[in-house]
Amino acid sequence: MDNKDDELKNQKEGSGEDLTAKEPGDKEQAKEAAVEAETQDCEAQGKSKRTTRKEKKDKKDQKIEELNDRIMRLMAEYDNYRKRTDKEKSSMFEMGAKSIVEKIIPVIDNFERGFATVSDSDKDDPFVKGMDKVYSQFVTTLEEAGVKPIEAVGQEFDPDIHNAVMHVEDASLGDNIVAEELQKGYMYKDSVVRYSMVKVAN
């Protein structure tokens, strides 16, 4: 019996097998170490995924900001274009209207010259009355369109609206006062169509 036991013992020693049994505490520590390593690995993978998602979100937000900026710029450019074209259209319309008014003013001058030659006895003539009504309607229509005569007589001379062609000595008038209007001037809205031709007192 002793010989057999010795042989078994020698065989185990020759195979290099650890004859010392592992204690239960060592096994638990090994399991905990394995679980901890696996947990750390999972955390590292989760952190990597979160970092990737954050980077994607940052790029997405940056792209959204760029698109919003482009949209705002386009809207501003369109608004400026619309305002500019509206201003140009208005300016073109006013230029066209002013050109027409310039051509109509001589007709008004002729009406007024004609009425100036009518004697008091002929003012009740039906033809004269009819022409006076046409003239009044003509003037009213122009006023509604923004055309108005420039005030001159008794006003202080203003080179922006008056054109002085003569000077007179008149003690009854103050200095630089319009004494007489030689040709009536007109304005279309805020623009001078024709300057008043006036005589100014010194």
Residues 160, 162: Cα–Cα separation, whole Å: 6
Cα 89 to Cα 67: distance, rounded to the nearest angstrom = 32
Query: How would residue 11 be classed by pLDDT, with cut points 50, 70 and 90?
Result: low
Dump the DSSP string for 91-102.
Answer: HHHHHHHHHHHH
Output the pLDDT for position 22.
45
pLDDT tens digit sequence for 48-105: 666 677 777 788 888 888 899 999 999 999 989 898 888 888 777 778 888 888 899 9
> For residue 13, is pLDDT > 70?
no
User: Domain 147-202 has what CATH class?
Assistant: mainly beta
Report the range of poorest mean pLDDT among 14-18, 28-32, 43-47, 52-56: 14-18
Per-chain mean pLDDT for the chain: 80
pLDDT at residue number 17:
44
Type of residue numbered 201: A
E strands, 30-161, where?
147-149
Report the SS3 class of residue 187: strand
Q: Contact, 92 vs 179, CB < 8 A?
A: no
Query: Shortest CA distance to 195 belongs to which of 165, 166, 154?
Result: 165
For residues 45 and 7, give the distance between their C-alpha atoms in angstroms, rounded to a whole number: 53
Tokens read off for 7: 């042989």
The predicted pLDDT at position 167 comes to 86
Q: Per-residue confidence at 15, pLDDT binned at 50, 70, 90?
A: very low
The pLDDT of residue 71 is 92
Pairing of strands 177-183, 147-149: unpaired
Q: How far is CA 125 from CA 12, 86, 130, in A?
A: 154, 50, 9
For the chain, give the number of residues. Answer: 202
Higher pLDDT, 58 or 177: 177
Average pLDDT over residues 139-153: 90
Closest CA to 147 of 100, 181, 186: 186
pTM (global) more than 0.85: no
